[in-house]
Structure 1
Amino acid sequence: MDKLNTLITTAIRKGRQYSRKLWVRVVIMGLLAVFVTLLSQLIEPFIPEEIAKSLNGGSADRLLQLIAVAMLSVTIFSITVMVSVFQSSSSQWTPRVQRLIMQDRTTQNTLAVFIGAYVYALLGIILRELGVYVDERAFVLFWVTVLVLAAIVINLIRWVLHLQGFGQLLDTTRQVESVTRAQFRDRLARPCLGGRPLTKAVPEGTHKITAWESGYLQHIYPEALNATAEEYDVRIYLTQTIGHYAFINAPLLEVEPMGEEPDWDALTGDLKNSISLADVREYEQDPRFGLIVMGEIGSKAMSPGVNDPGTAIDVITRVGRILSDYQDETATEPETLLAHLYVAPLDAADLLRDGFGALSRDSAGTLEVQMRLQQTFSGLMRHPDPGLCKAAKDMARKELARALQAITFEPDQQTLIQSADPEVRPK
């Protein structure tokens, strides 16, 4: 039963990863179009003859031709819009946000429906030319085609409404915040990815599993790792966090045998199947990456070419809202404890640096941004978690000192000091 649960959980995780890819949705809609086309042919013989002959094949032909011509043009237009938005978002904000926009569900679903409808129309036309659908019995084909047209119209309206904000700054920052907050809450709902918190030094005598290629630790399957550890009677220590860049032959995992020495080659091969190394970081399982992207957007807004303090202030507020969900992963036991897997918990100081580090440095001389930054730090210093409170206080004190050096006008300095929490003001 445990192996079955592991397989199901791992399959669900992989399914979630593939569901974010455009080609997967396109293939599914294409197959659905083929299925619907064949299904309509199977249903047709069960329609009473007087009803079946109420519509002839010419009626369906006109609709199929309309869909085939229109969907090709609309799909090309939609792809052009996508490419334009990807390029503009990369140049204006940060290239890291492009991958998130590429995973936009509304865009992917719309393109998948358009291509699926195009495939359906082509199949319908081909089957009509081959004589599979006869003129005398086209009742089901006609009404199925009408339903396909309705689906096209609905998705076209959604797409037009979506384009009103697609790729704009406010929409982009909302998407990044939403995804980051969702990943953050998922991580905290299952502290340490469901494993035991790695808060102490790894025991001596462990066997190091090194990276087989250089790349980011993009994704792991904790249930599969724990199942492998149980099979070989070992404990696995994930010494590197998700998002860490590991060079080839650098330590990635440490394994502690609980009994006899396992077959290390076989164990290493099984562990590789549960760990993903790649050339880029992803948002899933990596809430720190989302915070970094938010910080990059705010930092880019403060560049001389953009000079947009309002965006930086908006990003600070959003990062503060994300961090408000923080809780110490060592304080609670996960619902499903993976007893053979040890994972390092999130560190509050790292999260603050990810979200505010670059932004606070690049906006050190801008009073309005620094005031909002200090107000956010002051709010986080009242957070229920003592670790986050201490980290926020330390960073507030450091960033206040940096800003006071960059801002030379004394009245502005006094204004900034007054906006800071009394606990971090200079004596």
Structure 2
Amino acid sequence: MISRTLLYVRRITRQLWFRVVLLSACSLLALAVAPWLTGFIPEDLGDRFGRDAALPVLTILASGMLAVTTFSLNIMVSAYRTAAATATPRVYRLLLEDTITQSVLATFVGGFVFSLSAVILFRSGFYTEDAAVVVFATTVVIVALIVGSILRWIDHLSGLGSMDHTLRLIETRSRTSLRQRAERPCLGGCAITDDDSDARPADSIAIPAAESGFVRFIDMTALNTLAKEGDTRVRIARSPGEFVLRGQPVAWLFTEDEDLADTASGHIEIGDVRSFDQDPSFGLTLLAETAQRALSPGINDPGTAMEVMGRLERLLWESTPNDIPDAREDVSFPHVEMPPVTARHLLDCAFPPIAHCGKDDPSVMDWMQKGLTALSDHPNSDMAKAAQSLADHLFPAQSD
């Protein structure tokens, strides 16, 4: 189970500025250590690959990389806005984590920082002729990296912002989230068997939500440690992805210690937007929203809706384990209880919204019926029963 600290580190590394700062820092580090590497340079290379050879190349890089970076940023923003307009606005945050785009832009900015800083250092007389050879060699490496990034960027631009690229990105991220949650349906805690997990249990006090918003992350490790030290148990009332208002119960604590409840509240992250980290249904919701937009009267694109349903079927078929996992066999946090993610919940996030918008399109509804029929043969009996039950609900005439 990922800790909260590791989660924050992972989120930081997914942001664009992190790679930009990292490569820029590496560029400055390479310039700083250049004078210390002069002992490895043959004496006769200073005349051929020294200051006069490096400065013209660095000047070209300093002027060119700034323009290329600005142009690339404009393309990225335009492509992401197009994807958000054609798919769903909530996919914009996922597109910002595109590693190829981040790496390319970071290379461009790093090349600009390197070349501009090198020109300044050369003009200030910081480098000797031997150090200039090291800088020239580093410049050659930087140029090679920039050329490779440009070729990679050209190939990536062919699909950036397109519907295919957007759907593929959502599906890939959703598959990871679904499989992780399938392996640990209760995030390593004990499964709640009660039908009404929202009701206040006896002999418990509420753990209030620190703010209004979506439950984004539950630090199971910290909650389990806290409950163990207090000789009590925590029961999660709002799973990741659910909305809660400030002060409402987000979990229950089987004790009368109000201070302990306030401390436990700090281990449940709540934010303005949902996250993929512990929410397997978020990706299904994004795909369903894309299909809904495609079926709107202004767009009227049933083909995209059917493609989305195909991806939903594939996700639910491949990311659901054939055997029903026994939550009791994988309990890493025995002092924390929470309801598992059910197959019916995943199906409800995927198909009913599309059915609502595509009920007047026979081709869309026919595809949906065939998809639910296929999922009703899933080796996992929970998924099979849920798919059959949803099919009977959406297509009552065919079930008679």
Classify the TM-score, shorter chain.
over 0.9
2:34 paired residue among 36, 40, 59: 40
Residues 1:178 and 2:161 are matched in the alignment: no
Deviation string, structure 1 residues 327-368 (Cα, Å, up to 9, x no partner): 477524465611112121002111111111211111111111
CA contact (8 A) 1:232 1:267 kept: no
CA contact (8 A) 1:192 1:329 kept: no
Residues 1:285 and 2:293 are matched in the alignment: no
Which residue does 2:268 correspond to in 1? 275
Shift of 1:321: 1.0
Q: TM-score, normalised by structure 1?
A: 0.87
Which residue does 2:221 correspond to in 1? 223
Which residue does 1:359 correspond to in 2? 354
DSSP 3-state at the match of 1:285: coil
Shift of 1:137: 4.0
Which residue does 2:314 correspond to in 1? 321
CA contact (8 A) 1:298 1:312 kept: yes
Tell me the distance in 1 between the aligned counterparts of 2:131 and 2:249. Answer: 68
Q: Kindly report which structure 2 residues correspond to 1:74-89, keeping only aligned pairs within 5 A, or say none.
A: 74-89=68-83
Which residue does 1:29 correspond to in 2? 23
Tell me the distance in 2 between the aligned counterparts of 1:169 and 1:206. Answer: 49
Name structure 2 gaps, 5 residues minimum: none
DSSP 3-state at the match of 1:252: strand
Shift of 1:52: 4.1
Which residue does 1:119 correspond to in 2? 113
Tell me the distance in 2 between the aligned counterparts of 1:86 and 1:334. Answer: 43
* 1:105 to 1:83, Cα distance in 2 relative to 1, 3 A: same
Name structure 1 gaps, 5 residues minimum: 1-5, 405-424
2:379 paired residue among 378, 384, 391: 384
DSSP 3-state at the match of 1:192: coil
Tell me the distance in 2 between the aligned counterparts of 1:163 and 1:400. Answer: 42
CA contact (8 A) 1:53 1:138 kept: no
DSSP 3-state at the match of 1:276: strand
Tell me the distance in 1 between the aligned counterparts of 2:251 and 2:324. Answer: 20
Q: TM-score, normalised by structure 2?
A: 0.93
Shift of 1:266: 5.3
DSSP 3-state at the match of 2:105: helix
* 1:178 to 1:45, Cα distance in 2 relative to 1, 3 A: same
2:205 paired residue among 204, 207, 213: 207
CA contact (8 A) 1:191 1:333 kept: no
Residues 1:238 and 2:236 are matched in the alignment: yes
DSSP 3-state at the match of 2:207: strand
CA contact (8 A) 1:184 1:287 kept: yes
Tell me the distance in 2 between the aligned counterparts of 1:13 and 1:335. Answer: 21
| Aligned alpha-carbon RMSD (Å) | 2.0
Shift of 1:215: 0.9
Aligned length: 394
Tell me the distance in 2 between the aligned counterparts of 1:280 and 1:25. Answer: 23
Letter in 2 for 1:153: V
Tell me the distance in 2 between the aligned counterparts of 1:53 and 1:243. Answer: 64
Shift of 1:272: 4.1
Tell me the distance in 2 between the aligned counterparts of 1:335 and 1:246. Answer: 28
Shift of 1:39: 2.2
Tell me the distance in 2 between the aligned counterparts of 1:355 and 1:65. Answer: 54
Deviation string, structure 1 residues 280-331 (Cα, Å, up to 9, x no partner): 1122211111100000111111111111111111111111111112247752
CA contact (8 A) 1:218 1:242 kept: yes
1:197 paired residue among 191, 198, 211: 191
Tell me the distance in 1 between the aligned counterparts of 2:141 and 2:40. Answer: 19
1:349 paired residue among 319, 344, 348: 344
Residues 1:140 and 2:138 are matched in the alignment: no
Deviation string, structure 1 residues 377-422 (Cα, Å, up to 9, x no partner): 0111111222222221121122224xx7xxxxxxxxxxxxxxxxxx
CA contact (8 A) 2:207 2:265 kept: no
* 1:93 to 1:199, Cα distance in 2 relative to 1, 3 A: same
Residues 1:294 and 2:287 are matched in the alignment: yes
Q: Kindly report which structure 2 residues correspond to 1:329-348, keeping only aligned pairs within 5 A, or say none.
A: 331-333=326-328, 335=330, 337-348=332-343
Which residue does 1:414 correspond to in 2? none
Residues 1:11 and 2:9 are matched in the alignment: no
Shift of 1:50: 3.0
Tell me the distance in 1 between the aligned counterparts of 2:25 and 2:386. Answer: 52
1:130 paired residue among 106, 124, 139: 124
Q: Kindly report which structure 2 residues correspond to 1:99-118, keeping only aligned pairs within 5 A, or say none.
A: 99-118=93-112
* 1:329 to 1:29, Cα distance in 2 relative to 1, 3 A: farther
* 1:140 to 1:335, Cα distance in 2 relative to 1, 3 A: farther
Which residue does 2:298 correspond to in 1? 305
Tell me the distance in 2 between the aligned counterparts of 1:279 and 1:13. Answer: 17
